């Protein structure tokens, strides 16, 4: 078999592996695919005769080339993760007799604290003065539900009507890796989602057997791009244009819970994080926020001579 065809088959096997066996999200799959295509192009350009001829030194040289091209440390770390996973698959499927990436370490990355909205800013965002059109009711319900639950935008737009229990105050969503979780929601979100369902969703003329909770003006499931436009438009209306994204609302949900005493394990469960270290960033963010508040408001926070 020609070398190029072997590489193509190896890539297909890898994508199948991370999709079916690992159950990774589509965004992660797409990222891994791009990473491995770049890696294989480098291998081919280096005139390495086969996958079995790849050595650790080759991978190290490739990673150094990325650094010289000023790829961020986060991107290089993800590349290493992709290559390590790909190399394991190659060994398992007998494309090669060794794993050259087994001792390649994932470089440490500088943790950047996520941006959040203050509680006052969230209130500005959610305080719709007038609810007139069906789209007004939909937008209000969506923003209330996102802040109430901390779900990702992909999870929000994937919700069906039957996924929200307005009696007991819970929603069921499918997170990364097709993992289902149950998240509580508060009375404000319950009230506005119920108002939307009772008075507005039907006016958007849902298509036959369209079970999506949130619809666009054509009566079909709202897209990620559609939601992005809605939240940016709303942010602009209340003077928060450059401060709001769907993920910032999720970050704000988590930080405000921790600031008010929520246990980190409970927040981890609600966010759907598989690793608690991912959730711990909100503790640091909360401490940073408290430091800022203290320095700004405490009468003796600064040295008086």
Number of domains in the chain: 2
The residue written with tokens 């319900």 in the block is 141
Is 137 domain-assigned?
Answer: yes
**Domain of 244?**
119-296
**Catalytic choice (17, 227, 282, 289):** 282
Is residue 298 annotated as part of the catalytic site, yes or no? no
How far apart, in whole angstroms, are the C-alpha atoms of residue 11 and residue 37? 8
Same domain, 56 and 183: no
- Domain with residue 39: its CATH number is 1.10.150.130
Please say whether the beta carbons of 213 and 164 come within 8 A: yes
| DSSP label at residue 167 | T
Is residue 250 annotated as part of the catalytic site, yes or no? yes
Is 253 domain-assigned?
Answer: yes
**Catalytic choice (38, 88, 172, 176):** 176
Please say whether the beta carbons of 248 and 229 come within 8 A: no
Is residue 247 annotated as part of the catalytic site, yes or no? yes
pLDDT of residue 110: 60
pLDDT of residue 290: 59
DSSP letter for each residue of 219-282: SSBPPHHHHHHHHHHHHHHTT-TTT--HHHHHHHHHHHHHHTT--HHHHHHHHT-SSHHHHTHH
**Catalytic choice (221, 250, 251, 256):** 250
How far apart, in whole angstroms, are the C-alpha atoms of residue 46 and residue 58? 9
pLDDT of residue 49: 79
Q: Which stretches of the chain are DSSP H helices?
A: 3-16, 26-45, 56-68, 73-92, 119-126, 134-149, 153-158, 187-199, 224-237, 246-259, 264-271, 276-279, 281-297
pLDDT of residue 303: 61
How far apart, in whole angstroms, are the C-alpha atoms of residue 141 and residue 149? 12
List, run by run, the mean pLDDT of 10-residue segments along the chain (305 residues).
78 90 82 93 86 90 90 87 92 91 77 78 90 94 94 92 94 82 93 95 91 94 92 91 84 87 86 79 65 67 63
Is 102 domain-assigned?
Answer: no
Is 70 domain-assigned?
Answer: yes
**Catalytic choice (152, 221, 234, 251):** 152
Is residue 194 annotated as part of the catalytic site, yes or no? no
Is 109 domain-assigned?
Answer: no
Same domain, 82 and 187: no
pLDDT of residue 294: 66
Is residue 201 annotated as part of the catalytic site, yes or no? no
pLDDT of residue 192: 96
**Catalytic choice (111, 247, 265, 291):** 247
């Amino acid at each position: 078999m020609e070398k190029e065809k072997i590489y193509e088959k190896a890539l297909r096997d890898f994508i199948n592996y991370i999709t079916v066996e690992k159950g990774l999200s589509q965004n992660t799959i797409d990222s891994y695919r791009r990473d491995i295509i770049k890696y294989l192009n480098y291998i081919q350009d280096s005139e390495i005769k086969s996958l079995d001829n790849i050595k650790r030194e080759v991978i190290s040289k490739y990673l150094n080339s990325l650094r010289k091209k000023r790829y961020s440390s986060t991107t290089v770390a993800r590349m290493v993760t992709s290559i390590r996973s790909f190399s394991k698959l190659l060994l398992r499927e007998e494309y090669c007799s060794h794993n050259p990436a087994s001792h390649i370490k994932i470089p440490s990355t500088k943790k950047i604290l996520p941006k959040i909205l203050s509680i006052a800013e969230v209130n500005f965002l959610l305080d719709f003065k007038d609810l007139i059109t069906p789209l007004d009711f939909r937008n209000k319900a969506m923003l209330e539900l996102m802040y109430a639950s901390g779900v990702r935008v992909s999870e929000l737009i994937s919700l069906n009507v039957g996924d929200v229990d307005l009696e007991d105050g819970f929603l069921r969503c499918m997170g990364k890796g097709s993992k289902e979780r149950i998240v509580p929601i508060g009375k404000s979100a319950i009230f506005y989602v119920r108002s939307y369902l009772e008075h507005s969703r039907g006016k958007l003329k849902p298509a036959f057997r369209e079970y999506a909770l949130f619809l666009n003006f054509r009566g079909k499931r709202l897209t990620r791009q559609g939601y992005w436009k809605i939240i940016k438009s709303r942010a602009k209306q209340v003077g928060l244009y450059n401060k709001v994204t769907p993920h910032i609302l999720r970050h704000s949900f988590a930080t405000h819970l921790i600031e008010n005493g929520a246990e980190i394990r409970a927040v981890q469960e609600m966010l759907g994080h598989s690793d608690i270290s991912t959730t711990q960033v909100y503790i640091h963010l909360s401490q940073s926020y408290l430091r800022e508040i203290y320095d700004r408001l405490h009468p003796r926070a600064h040295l008086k001579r």
